[in-house]
Amino acid sequence: MRLLHWLPGRLLSAIVVLLGASILIFAAVRSLPGDFAQIVLGPLSNEEQREQLRQSFGFDRSLPEQYLLWLGNAARGDFGLSLASQQPVLDELASRLPVTALLAGMAMLVTIAIGIPLGVYAGTHASTGRGSAAARIVSTIGISFPEFVLGCLVVFLFSRFDLGLSVGAFTSPTTDFGRGVVSLLLPALVLSVFCVAATARTTRDAVIGVLVEPHIAASVARGEPKGFIIRHHVLRNALIPVLTLTATITAYLLGGAVIVERVFNVPGIGSYLVLALDRRDYTVIQAGVLLATAVFVIASLLIDVLTGLVDPRVSVAKKGRGA
Amino acid sequence: MTAVIRLEGRRRGVLRRSWDYLASFDGLAKTAMWTLAVLFTAALLGRLFGLGGSPTAIVGPRLAAPSLAYPAGTDSLGRSLLPRLLEGVMTTLLLSAVAVLLTAVIATLCGIIAGYRGGRTGGVIMRVGDILYAFPAIVLAILVAAVVGPGYIAALCSIVLVTVPLMTRMVGQATRLVAQRDFITSAVISGVSTPVIMTRHVLRNISGTIAVQGTYALSVAILVEGGLSFLGYGVQLPGSSLGLLVQEGTLYMVKAPWLILLPGIILVIAILAINLIGDSLRDRFEPREARSLE
């Protein structure tokens, strides 16, 4: 029940961060040079149309009022109309959300399934020389591969040679889930490489940190089997920094998805955001950036709660996100 | 240990001292430093003496494979790729280095103030950092590009905004640890003024953290610049950066794979080298004891 002591404060800080981010996004788009109505309607619009638009956007009111109006609508899911297609932004985002969610989920699964065992191995063999050096080099190469380079490389290999999987043939997971998963396999793998390496590095450091603690020496002295020590004493303690890293990885997956979706031509939220930037579609940019930020803030809040449940030592002082 | 190095340093010259310092790194980090030095020197030779030819002149057939005449092949317009690669390396390294320098100055200043003074100012600095930290890197870069417009400035601003929050937080944490130590209390009691404590006592003791975080920020900077240029909102033509070259390479991927492979590989090597140096610095400044179960 220690959780109840710090949870309200943590919730409040999440709300403050989210509000701050929304102010930043609003201010960024409003600080665009030129008349916003002119940007929206283009150079061929007349004064009457512009005046009408200013009123419909609430531009005749004060800036704080405009911000509250925008925020209130956004909180109810109304992000306005896309400037380019004149469709509600929410509908377009909603139709693309499953794709990105599946892509990020698959990458997260790969990250956990490979990154943690790799890190545990590297950490428990840290002082044995060759294995540790190999693990260090492999994980450093992993975090040094920008996903656009890796993605292009994969696209090149798979389009030049027949390797069983095709690139560019996308099936929506909402129409056929199985084929959707298969078509997202390569993008998800490319997306996960950085996260696997980062998780392995963090797990390795955490395991090394736990191994030097006296209670491990005590277990060894008691003659407990090695596998048991690793599972019961090392892993439980080492998983806490790894859990914290998951929040950073969520943010990374959201950002990386933008590039990977572009490279593999996947119609998700990321490629929609880039398309919006190409078309100067500011309502979509506002909504997309706000959505990505909100997902990250909520994810890190959940992970903090989870960490608090797993680790009773987490106190108010330690509740900040480590990275 | 510091004292010993400084005594030796007085007898030897500054150059000799820094050379000895660099020579004390492990083999992997030294290889990484040499790699970066070779890349930068090649790019500098390209800039100063036109090594490899002009980056904009059309010199040969289109999409010619690497040969003696065109060591890195030619691109879709018949320009030799080598000088464009060298220019790209220069742009990428220089842009990232300038941005990280800016980041280091801002983050050190904010981090020391937040960590040493704390209070309301520190709280505000940390909160602003939290807010910026909530934006995924490339998403923040897209927002910046939307406002500033594509180009060098967008890349520079994006890198600074992406790297400042984490570095400020790390500097703040390191400062808090130093601020608790006895010699700081002793300096305060002796009546040393706060700015002097911050620069002479705190800054010196967190310089390791700044070096480590700065190195990692440099690798993030190259990633962000590459990603933004790849999306078409970083460095613009006729300029050249590694990310932009990779993006150009995607168009002729099957016919002329070297156009994408060469800039891609150089990009990976540069980031890898910087990360290895960062790891080595971290091992040096934040040593940890390793023990195995054997």
Kindly identify which residue of chain A lies nearest to residue B134, measuring between CA atoms. Answer: A293
Residue A78 pLDDT exceeds 70: yes
What would the two tokens of residue B117 be?
Answer: 């003074």
Distance from CA of B284 to the nearest CA of A (A): 15
Nearest residue, CB atoms, B127 vs list A16, A124, A297: A16
Backbone φ, ψ for residue A232 (5° rounding) = -90, -35
Give every CB contact of residue B216 below 8 A, 6+ residues apart in sequence. Answer: B275, B278
* pLDDT over threshold 70, residue B8: no
What is the CA angle B61-B62-B66, rounded to 5?
80
Range ranked top by mean pLDDT from A61-65, A247-251, B93-97, B147-151: B93-97
Residue B233 pLDDT = 85
pLDDT at B4 over 70: no
How high is the pLDDT of residue B1? 45
Sole residue written with tokens 């005594």: B7
Structure-block tokens of residue A140: 């450093």
Neighbours of B17 (CB within 10 A): 16
Q: What is the pLDDT of residues B194-214, one digit of tens each?
A: 888 888 888 888 888 898 899
Interface with B, mutate which of A19, A24, A144 (most B CBs under 10 A):
A144
Q: Which of B146, B247, B271 sits opposite A285 (nearest CB)?
A: B146
What tokens appear for A218 in the block? 């005590």
HSE of B250, CA atoms in CB hemisphere, 13 A: 20
Whole-number average pLDDT of chain B: 82
Element (H, E) at A316: none
Alpha carbon of A311 to those of A9, A240, A243, A319: distances in Å?
18, 7, 11, 11
In this prediction, residue B167 has a pLDDT band, given cuts at 50, 70 and 90, of very high
What residues of chain B lie within 8 A of the CB of A149, using their CB? Answer: 226, 246, 264, 267-268
Q: For chain B, what are the domain ranges?
A: 25-43+78-285
Cα A293 from Cα A245, distance rounded (Å)? 17
Q: How confident is the model at residue B164 (pLDDT cuts 50, 70, 90)?
A: very high
Chain A residues lying within 8 Å of B293, measured CB to CB: 124, 211, 216, 220, 226, 229-230
Query: What does the alpha-carbon distance between residue A319 and residue B11 come to, in Å, rounded to a whole number?
Result: 49
Whether the per-residue pLDDT at A65 is higher than 50: the answer is yes
* Bridge partner list, A118: none
Token couple for A278: 């190409």
CA distance A14 to A286: 19
- What pLDDT is attached to residue B97? 93
Distance from the B78 Cα atom to the nearest Cα atom in chain A, whole angstroms? 22
Mean pLDDT over residues A50-66, rounded? 74
Flag whether residue A212 sits within 8 Å of chain B, measured between CB atoms. Answer: yes
Q: If pLDDT is split at 50, 70 and 90, which confidence band does B9 have?
A: very low
More confident residue, A133 or A248: A248
Q: Which residues contact A226 (CB under 8 A, 6 or more apart)?
A: B293
- CB-based contact, A190 to chain B, within 8 Å: no
Quick check: A223 contacting B, CB < 8 Å? no
Nearest to A93 by CA among A105, A108, A110, A81: A81
Structural contact between residues B100 and B221, judged by C-beta atoms closer than 8 angstroms: yes
HSE, CB side, 13 Å, CA atoms: give it for residue B117: 18
Give the A window 294-323 contacts with B, CB below 8 Å: 296-297, 321, 323
Q: Which residue of B has its CA nearest to A230?
A: B293
Q: What is the pLDDT of residue A163?
A: 67
**For residue B100, is pLDDT > 90?**
yes
Residue A218, chain B, CB below 8 Å: the answer is no
Cα–Cα distance between A228 and A195 in angstroms, integer?
A: 27
Q: Which two tokens stand for residue B229?
A: 């240029």
**CB-based contact, A204 to chain B, within 8 Å:** no
Query: Which residue from B128, B136, B275 is facing A252, i.e. has the nearest CB?
Result: B136
Residue B79 phi, psi dihedral angles, 5° rounding = -85, 145
Helix (H) or strand (E) holding A193: helix A185-211
Q: Helix, strand or coil for residue B127?
A: helix
> Residue B80: beta bridge partners?
B74
Range 3-62 of A in CB contact (< 8 A) with B: 13, 16-18, 20-21, 24-25, 28-29, 31-32
Whether A255 sits inside 8 A of B249 (CB atoms) is no
Can you give the pTM of this predicted structure? Answer: 0.84
C-alpha atoms less than 13 angstroms from C-alpha of A286 in its C-beta half-sphere: 28
CA distances from B222 to A173, A184, B15, B95, B273 (A): 34, 27, 29, 9, 12
Looking at chain B from residue 238 to 257, which residues have their Cβ under 8 Å from any Cβ of chain A?
Answer: 243, 246-247, 249-250, 253-254, 257
Distance from CA of A27 to the nearest CA of B (A): 10
Which stretches of chain B are DSSP H helices? Answer: 2-11, 14-23, 27-49, 81-112, 119-133, 137-148, 152-179, 182-189, 194-196, 204-205, 207-231, 242-251, 258-285
What is the distance between the alpha carbons of residues A24 and A318, in angstroms, rounded to a whole number?
27
Please report, as a single letter, which amino acid is at residue B182. D
pLDDT average, residue stretch B263-276: 90
Q: What value, to the nearest 5°, has the Cα angle with vertex A88 and ends A86 and A93? A: 120
Residue B137: name the closest of B109, B110, B170, B166 by CA. Answer: B166
Smallest CA-to-CA distance from A142 within A105, A194, A188 is with A194
Which one of A62-66, B25-29, B176-180 scores highest in mean pLDDT? B176-180
Phi, psi of B195 (to 5 degrees): -60, -35
> The tokens 């970066």 sit on which residue?
B36
Query: What is the full DSSP assignment across B186-197?
Result: HHHHTT--HHHI
* Structure confidence at residue B107 as a pLDDT band (50, 70, 90): very high
Cβ neighbours of residue A308 closer than 8 Å, sequence gap 6 or more: A2, A3, A6, A7, A314, A319
Residue A115's pLDDT is 87
Bigger pLDDT: A37 vs B282? B282
Domain B25-43+78-285 has CATH 3.30.300.30: no
pLDDT reading at A52 higher than 60: yes
Considering only the beta carbons, identify the residue of A126, A137, A259 that sits closest to B230. A259
pLDDT digits (tens, 9 = 90+) for A225-268: 888 888 888 888 888 888 888 888 888 888 888 888 888 888 88
Is residue A85 within 8 angstroms of chain B, CB to CB? Answer: no
Residues 6+ apart with CB under 8 A from B78: B58, B59, B60, B61, B62, B64
- Tens-digit pLDDT profile for residues A167-224: 666 777 777 777 778 778 888 888 899 889 888 888 888 888 888 888 888 888 888 8
Measure in Å the smallest separation between the Cα of B6 and chain A Cα atoms: 32
Dist. CA B108–CA B106, nearest whole Å = 6
Least confident stretch, A67-76, B200-209, B212-221, B271-280 = A67-76
Residue B79, beta-bridge partner list: B58
Residue range A296-307, pLDDT digits in tens: 899 888 888 888
CA dist A287 → A25, A278, A290, B120, B161 (Å): 9, 15, 5, 32, 20
CB atoms within 10 A of CB A104: 25
Tokens for B294? 């054997």
